[in-house]
Amino acid sequence: EKAVVSTQSTGQQFGTGQHYSYFHEEDESSFQLVDSSKPQRSLYQRSRARYQRTRHQRPTQRVQDPKTGRMTVIPKYNNPMRRNNWNNRGHDNKNQVKLKSSVEVRKDWELQVEIEFSQIAKKYLSYPEKDITNLVECGTLEHYDKRYDRITTKAERPLAMTNRLFHYVSTTDDPIIRELAKEGHVFATDSILATIMTCPRSYYSWDIIIQRVGSRLFFDKRDDSDFDLLTVNETANELPGGEGGSNSLTKLSLEATYINQNFSQQCLKREAKTFKRPNPFVNEDDDHEPSSVAYRYRKIPLLGPGAEPLTLICRTEVDAVTTSANGEEKYMNIKALNEWDLKGGASEWRQKLDTQRGDILTTEMKNNKCKLAKWTVSSILAGSDLLKFGYVTRSMPRSSGESIGHSILGTQEFIPKQFAAQISLDMNNAWGILRVIVDRCMQLKDGKYVLYKEPGKGILRIYKVPLNTFEEDNDDSDDEEEEEEDK
């Protein structure tokens, strides 16, 4: 089980603490990232200045016209030297950033399946919404505070720190999933499913553990992975990744995760809707109040023409509840988009958000289309009625001794299915992708596997791994912690 308090060292909790840690003092203005490791080269490097200088100096490709003898420029769509595969589509101008692999592929891993994104781009499966049933609902939901809808750039509000506990529990560690083991064939969380269902949009590396046990499949995440960290500008033409400073990939991911946690709790009223069953991950010994969350365990049929019917059991999350004008309760997921690249120290969002919000959202759709798609899929899987976005920007320090703060500039609300259409997310294709992955896994023998997305490439690989893979790493880290405590 993994739990994170928004005010504590979230970097360590998310599996990146060996390099960077979050420290928060009494208020949000003290937000800072502290390098707690020995000096070393960054995992993410680029030569932006050199790229910008040379990008416009590339020679034009010309050929000699056999009729006139004149030199003619080759149009790019006729250029035989121009590649048009997935790796270049949408990423032609990406700067050269060294991307980190999410996991090291070891020599004793056996490759079982290889799936190119082009093979699943046209796979479709009807969305089984009417056949979805809720098996268990538990937790406590607080009401959304509608005063946050009145925030503007002229009446912005500081992002406040919330001293709350966030649980990131994987599938097989969930006690309710264990209760429901006889109800289905495939078991996963909404975040894991969303990662698989939107995989053609991903550029960074990620991995998921698959356990085949008889007729059942369990999709898990590694305890020490960065799986729950949010990406920033993953699908932009130029990836962030400057050496050091606050704009490296790792620090931006930590910052985005921190902003989302705090915004999702700050914009709530303390009026709560409590379900019959309590939050299954809360312990009496916890020193912090749990975050507002409801878990909905849903039973979803995975049907397909000529394919064996399978049942999916999925744990989904809802962040808040709100009341419509006619008094109807509506479930809501709350997320935050954050501006980090302040040109010359000035916020473009502060200047344009009130009058050109559509342009800002369009840019976010382009630069973060994978993250937005995962949020949308998770909301649809949970059966949420609304998807709320907050726009958060940095508040630059007035002096060198101050840390970066954050301010809320506005909010925007969508119906998840309508937003899916707006970002060109075809849920039938998303379900088709999931069914392809599940079918391939069902053909495997009992054992432990890793579904691996290679960085920067449109390909998935499934490796068979020894049963004790990753468990040894966890045992070593536990032993180190015990030795430190003994000292």
**pLDDT for the residue 244:** 62
User: Which residue has better confidence, 68 or 340?
Assistant: 340
Which range has the worst mean pLDDT, 38-42, 245-249, 356-360, 384-388? 38-42
24 pLDDT higher than 90: no
Residues in the chain: 487
Which residues on neighbouring strands pair with residue 187, listed in sequence order?
Answer: 218, 313
Query: Dihedral sign, CA of 229, 251, 254, 411?
Result: negative
Confidence of residue 22 (pLDDT cuts 50, 70, 90): very low
Mean pLDDT of the chain: 82
Confidence of residue 392 (pLDDT cuts 50, 70, 90): very high
**Residue 362, CB-side half-sphere exposure with 13 Å CA sphere:** 5
User: Which residue has better confidence, 2 or 445?
Assistant: 445
Residues 265-297 pLDDT 10s: 999 998 899 999 999 999 988 888 999 999 999
CA distances from 334 to 14, 306, 316 (A): 20, 39, 14
State both tokens at 185. 């064939």
**pLDDT for the residue 35:** 39
Amino acid identity for residue 52 in this structure? Q
Distance between first and last Cα of the chain: 26
371 pLDDT higher than 60: yes
Say if pTM beats, i.e. exceeds, 0.75. yes
Confidence of residue 402 (pLDDT cuts 50, 70, 90): low
Query: What is the mean pLDDT of the segment spanning 392-409?
Result: 78
**pLDDT for the residue 246:** 77
260: phi then psi, degrees, rounded to nearest 5: -65, -45
**pLDDT for the residue 99:** 87
Confidence of residue 391 (pLDDT cuts 50, 70, 90): very high
**pLDDT for the residue 342:** 83
**pLDDT for the residue 346:** 82
Q: What per-residue string of b and e applies to 27-43 under the rule 16 or more CB within 10 Å gives b? A: ebbebebeeeeeeeebe
Question: Does residue 472 sit in helix, strand or coil?
Answer: helix
41 pLDDT higher than 70: no
Residues 135-153 pLDDT 10s: 999 999 999 999 999 999 9
**DSSP conformation class of 469:** T
Which residue carries 């020193």 as its tokens?
287
**pLDDT for the residue 400:** 55
Cβ distance 264 to 394 under 8 Å?
A: no
Query: What is the mean pLDDT of the segment spanning 455-470?
Result: 95
Query: What is the mean pLDDT of the segment spanning 335-354?
Result: 90
Residues 115-130 pLDDT 10s: 999 999 999 998 778 8
**DSSP conformation class of 454:** P
